[in-house]
A and B are shown apart, each in its own frame.
Chain A
Amino acid sequence: MAILQRFLLASVFVSCLVATCYGGVSFKSLHPTLTVTATHKEGVLKAGLDNITVTWALDPSAPAGTDASYKTIKVKLCYAPVSQVDRGWRKTKDDLTKDKTCSHKIVAKPYIAGGAVATATWTVQRDVPTAKYFVRAYAHNASDMEVAYGQTTSTEKKTNLFDIEAVTGRHVSLDIASICFSAFSVVSLFGFFFLERRKTRIAEAK
């Protein structure tokens, strides 16, 4: 019992030690120095079929030397606020290590200084869920920390959003296999049942 008590006390003590984590970069500290655009076909985009062409460049009005620390640009597909409602796993948090707004990677390219516009075309992946999206690009420094960003929508994330429709994941072959196995289960069960009933009736009649 004493050992158990000590173990319990130790557990309670350990549990009270809150492990400190190195906080990530705060989104509020970043400046929107990148101009990002995303072009795609009209209407709802289909996952697995349609493309999005993204471009990004340093904002011409940004003061010189802003991009001195930019090493990589990571472009991501981000959820619009309307698609985050009632879905805590997509929540926006200021700490970028905890932020789940931009969970889908589009492309990552090294940053080329000089103000030229970079482009990339991306086919919407098959595991992208049905939702409203916008595109955001983060500039990372040499230690892979975010230092700046740019996005295709306004600060409130209400304008210039586009819809993506996910694949259903269903296949006709799966449906058919499912029906076959279900039928097998039911038929073999009733088959056994009636066969055995007939056998006992014959045995009793003897």
Chain B
Amino acid sequence: MSTEIEGSPGTSMHGVTGREPVLAFSVASPMVPTDKTAHFDLPVDSEHKAKKFKLFSFANPHMRTFHLSWISFFTCFVSTFAAAPLVPIIRDNLNLTKGDIGNAGVASVSGSIFSRLVMGAVCDLLGPRYGCAFLVMMTAPTVFCMSFVSSAGGYVAVRFMIGFSLATFVSCQYWMSTMFNSQIIGLVNGTAAGWGNMGGGATQLLMPLLFEIIKSAGATPFTAWRIAFFIPGWLHIIMGLLVLTLGQDLPDGNLSTLQKKGEVAKDQFGKVLWYAVTNYRTWIFVLLYGYSMGVELSTDNVIAEYFYDRFDLKLHTAGVIAATFGMANLLARPFGGFASDYMARHFGMRGRLWTLWTLQTMGGVFCILLGRATSLPVAIAHMIIFSIGAQAACGATFGVVPFISRRSLGIISGLTGAGGNFGSGLTQLLFFTNAKHSTGTGLSYMGIMIVACTLPVAFVHFPQWGSMFLPPSKGVVEEQYYIKEYSEDEREKNMHLGNIKFAENCRSERGNRVASVATPPHA
């Protein structure tokens, strides 16, 4: 088991990747001793973190936290993308141009780049329970603000403010790392992230349905969409109150002990940042995630309008079709991670990289075809394959990220996540804001860009494992790569021991060659 320096920068993000070496639904007792004196519904370790993940339980505190957390994240996705399926109505009400609609889409994903950075600090100060509740309840007024919007500027501003709520991703992952043992945190966090992302699909179904119901109750279209926004707003308030009343920061319910932990020796933020930023692989993955998660977010924003306009569908029909895109996250993202792990068993890191390239490129190709589709069934088929490709690529990305660095894992994961939002903003700005080309053309260009921006994965080379085309450098073993993160002085202080253990655990990334390369004796 790798030792962690408590409170060091990035430890709260451990498990964010969902693909740490040991993934299981539970941890057996010899590996992590069970605390038999504790009276919890699930077996717990010495810190009272759960060792088992029981999906359909709501028991306090562990599983209850899981459900509160992912549903809050889901709610924020619902409200951030709530405007997207209603754009055909909103654009007539507010007299929007294509540029305005595109700018609003960019704004909706840009806000969270900053709010996610702040959220980490908020969770450290107030704890994840208040972090989540604060964010969800302070963004509720921004959702209600839609009833005041009467111009393009107002619309863009409100979507920007609602977008801040996507920082619940950070509180969600942080909160679960206080509740679940690090050996299973991977799967727990991965499931929560995927199910939260589903909100982007559910909203395409929910909002047109609400709109139709409110319209049939007598409201005119230009009022009905404003009333429809009250429902996501109420969901924010309800989830905030549930989190405050039912949630707790720690298994034992005590916030002050969480703050005491910060007094243990910390790693230096500057060093951790340096190793993240100077590793070229970090930036390749930032780019890659911008074209898997980024295109997923962009598509959430434009797909309903695309189907409505191109195929002359009714608003709620377009919404149902658009919803299938986001809802595929239920299975597609975990599938990507699973595919990465499966290929790693036979082909090691090379298998992971090829899996990532294949899934993401497949998504890109079908995105190109989606933009060019002229008949509805063909367009739907292409969209589904595109969604599976893009979302599985998200899962597969975090199949490789944990191996880039162990010391700077948190920051690299954070940068990768920010890259996703940034990629989304950039793509919407380039292809969906200009009236010169239609949404269909924009989708095709986006597909071409996906294929092009996935090519850099061929340049990711691990000296100990090789890359897509190159074999590993002769005689290099895992320890040599991970030792480099600590300077001579730090190694003398034995700060690198965790990395040695991690390197041992990583040998499976050699694939079938594990036995053939000799392991050196420990330094």
Residues of A within 8 A of B (CB): 8, 11, 14-15, 17-19, 21, 48, 85-89, 126-127, 129-131, 166-171, 174-175, 177-179, 181-182, 184-186, 188-189, 192-193, 200
Contact = CB atoms under 8 A, between A and B. Distances in A.
Contacts of A18: 374-375
B381 A11 contact: yes
B378 interface: yes
A95 to B, nearest CB: 13
A131 B241 CA distance: 44
A170 B240 contact: no
A186 B137 contact: yes
Given A19-B375, A184-B237, A170 B141 contact: no
B147 A178 contact: yes
Given A14-B378, A181-B230, A185-B240, A171 B223 contact: yes
Contact of A175 (B148, B225, B230, B256): B148
A169 B378 contact: no
Given A88-B98, A169-B93, A174 B147 contact: yes
Contacts of A184: 237
A185 B137 contact: yes
Given A88-B438, A178-B145, A181-B140, A127 B244 contact: no
Given A21-B374, A167-B220, A181 B134 contact: no
A129 B93 contact: yes
Interface in B395-413: none
Contact of A86 (B99, B233, B237, B382): B99
B381 to A, nearest CB: 6
B222 A166 contact: yes
Contacts of B362: 8
B511 interface: no
B499 to A, nearest CB: 36
B133 A189 contact: yes
Contacts of B385: 11
A14 to B, nearest CB: 7
Contacts of B133: 189, 192
Contact of A170 (B134, B148, B236): B148
- Of A48, A170, A177, chain B has the most CB atoms within 10 Å of the CB of A170
A18 to B, nearest CB: 6
Contacts, number: 125
B445 to A, nearest CB: 15
B138 interface: yes
24 contacts: A11-B366, A15-B373, A18-B375, A86-B97, A87-B98, A88-B435, A88-B439, A126-B220, A129-B91, A166-B92, A166-B93, A167-B222, A168-B93, A169-B222, A170-B148, A170-B150, A178-B230, A179-B144, A181-B144, A181-B233, A181-B234, A182-B144, A185-B240, A186-B141
Given A170-B223, A189-B138, 5 more contacts: A19-B378, A85-B97, A126-B222, A175-B147, A185-B236
B482 to A, nearest CB: 33
Nearest to B146: A178
Contacts of A179: 144
Contacts of A14: 378, 381
Contacts of A168: 93, 150, 222
A150 B140 CA distance: 51
Chain B interface, >50% SS class: helix
B233 A189 contact: no
Nearest to B140: A185
Interface string B141-163: 10011011010000000000000
A170 B95 CA distance: 15
B483 interface: no
B221 interface: yes
B98 A182 contact: no
Interface string B424-446: 00000000000100110000000
A88 B158 CA distance: 24
Given A19-B374, A185-B141, A170 B147 contact: yes
A6 B95 CA distance: 47
- Of A89, A129, A169, chain B has the most CB atoms within 10 Å of the CB of A169
Contacts of B137: 185-186, 188-189
B227 interface: yes
A193 B130 CA distance: 8
Nearest to B233: A181
Contacts of A127: 92, 220-222
Contact of A174 (B91, B138, B223, B382): B223
Nearest to B255: A200
A131 B244 contact: no
A170 to B, nearest CB: 6
A193 B439 CA distance: 46
Contacts of A88: 98, 309, 435, 438-439
Contacts of A129: 91-93, 95
B464 to A, nearest CB: 28
A15 B148 contact: no
8 pairs of A and B residues whose beta carbons are closest in the complex: A169-B222, A182-B141, A19-B375, A129-B92, A86-B97, A86-B435, A178-B144, A185-B140
B333 interface: no
